[in-house]
Amino acid sequence: LYVRVSGSSGQESSLEAQESELRATSAGQIVKVFRDRASGLREDRPGLNRLLRAVADGSVTVVRVTHEDRLARFGVGWLKHLLGVHGATLDVLHPKKLGGRDELLEDFVSLVTTFAGRLYGMRSAENRRRLLAESGQCKAGDSQ
């Protein structure tokens, strides 16, 4: 099972809900649960990397996710291909039922949302550094 949330804190219940739903609907043996707290655009997610190593060594033959975007925001086709090369498959509990224009629009909204979140996160980090520097808790050039 692979579960992922975008944030680093405050979303533990979503991780647990994804795992519970996947466990409740699994017909086969659950070998391991891989978890990540990172954007679906990040390629260096520790849980995803552990999952791919497990697929490559043959200890995982089916990867289950609640939605495709839990595995990755973009490039799921490439990941499916990689799984297939190692004899594994991807099982999506709630597959997309979109096509054509609707799917393209959903991808565009997802991309804009992701980058807006990153921009606001960067701005928030800059503001925290500025406020700490103004309060004398750190130097202006220090990074927190």
45-102 pLDDT, tens per residue?
999 999 999 999 999 999 999 999 899 988 899 999 999 999 999 999 999 776 677 7
Is residue 36 a contact partner of residue 47, using CB atoms and an 8 Å limit?
yes
Please give the mean pLDDT across all residues of the chain: 85
The residues, ordered by sequence, that sit 6+ positions from 77 with a Cβ below 8 Å of its Cβ are none
Q: Which residue has the tokens 């996710």?
A: 65
Per-residue pLDDT at 16 exceeds 90: yes
Whether domain 2-92 has CATH 3.40.50.1390: yes
Phi, psi of 142 (to 5 degrees): -70, 150
* Whole-number Å distance between alpha carbons of 38 and 50: 14
* Whole-number Å distance between alpha carbons of 2 and 55: 12
At 42 the pLDDT is: 84
At 99 the pLDDT is: 67
